[in-house]
Amino acid sequence: MSVEDRRKDVIRETDAEAVQLAKTLLRSARYGALAVLEPQTGMPLASRVGVATDIDGVPLILVSMLSAHTPALLADPRCSLLLGEPGKGDPLAHPRLSLVCQATRLERGSGDHARAERRYLNRNPKAKLYSALGDFSIFRLEPARASLNGGFGKAYLLDRTDLVTTGSVVEELGASEQSALEHMNADHLDAIDVYAHHFAGASGEGWTIAGFDADGMDLSRGDDVCRVFFPQPLVNARELRPVLVDMARNGRTAAQAQGDT
């Protein structure tokens, strides 16, 4: 058996569990390793960047022209992004996601830039200190394909359709997302803690919502983040409120039942 045949043999069929893990890694990432090509040499250059996601799931980065990777992206938009948090023990035993992307610089003043900047700063609020500086730009890293390593013996190949949401729900949520999360963070912090505890298995109090999308929501508490998926992806933005109400009720009911046993 050739090396290529052995490699194919270890790739598992991409199923719903693998897609959800990949989306969890993507939506939960606060930073990643970005690999670009040096314009002068064509050699690969890797660096760490802050990361968020646009509402459709495309990764976002906010970078300065003073960084070597920014002029590299402008010269050649081909790049790769590695996401995944190492934990205790062997770092290679923890899930990670590698995306093959094309970088697109968003024009300041455009609607796409305004939405991307809002979502990036909701996820990375400390970036407000420098995001308005003229030498900083936001790029969308459009994924063409990805490889997921979910741990030993758990390798998968994914394409763009596995990771990126399309359809009218994307624009609808983009228009209504900010008011919805501001309302939840101002008036329903108790419900957000329920989402974190029951649906993400997170601990602690004081969670807030950093973003909504058709698949779920991203929660944060200081430097901690967690991902909560909706029972079913939203078809339109009007479904968001009743889904949140149902999830809070179901989470509280489950917590009460557990406390009674």
Instruction: Write the DSSP assignment of 26-74 as a string of letters.
Output: HHH-SEEEEEEE-TTT--EEEEEEE-EE-TTS-EEEEEETTSTHHHHHH
Same domain (yes/no): 134, 170: no
Answer whether residue 124 is part of any domain.
yes
pLDDT in tens, 142-186: 999 999 998 777 899 999 999 999 999 999 999 999 999 999 999
Going 112 to 60 to 148 to 24, the CA torsion angle's sign is: negative
pTM, entire model: 0.92
| pLDDT for the residue 152 | 74
Nearest-5° Cα angle at 231, 259 to 98: 110
Same domain (yes/no): 105, 180: no
| Domain CATH number, residue 225 | 3.20.180.10
| pLDDT for the residue 4 | 53
Domain range for 125 is 1-164
**38: phi then psi, degrees, rounded to nearest 5:** -65, 130
Average pLDDT over residues 50-74: 97
| pLDDT for the residue 3 | 45
* Among candidate residues 108, 133, 164, the one where a domain is terminated: 164
| Domain CATH number, residue 114 | 2.30.110.10
Report helix, strand or coil for 211. strand
Report helix, strand or coil for 129. helix
Same domain (yes/no): 24, 125: yes
Answer whether residue 260 is part of any domain.
no
Average pLDDT over residues 225-239: 97
Same domain (yes/no): 34, 108: yes
Q: Which amino acid is at 99?
A: L
| pLDDT for the residue 1 | 43
Domain count, the chain: 2
Across the chain, how many H-helices and E-strands are there? 9, 11
Answer whether residue 259 is part of any domain.
no
pLDDT bucket at 26, cuts 50 / 70 / 90:
very high
What rounded mean pLDDT belongs to the chain? 93
Same domain (yes/no): 142, 219: no
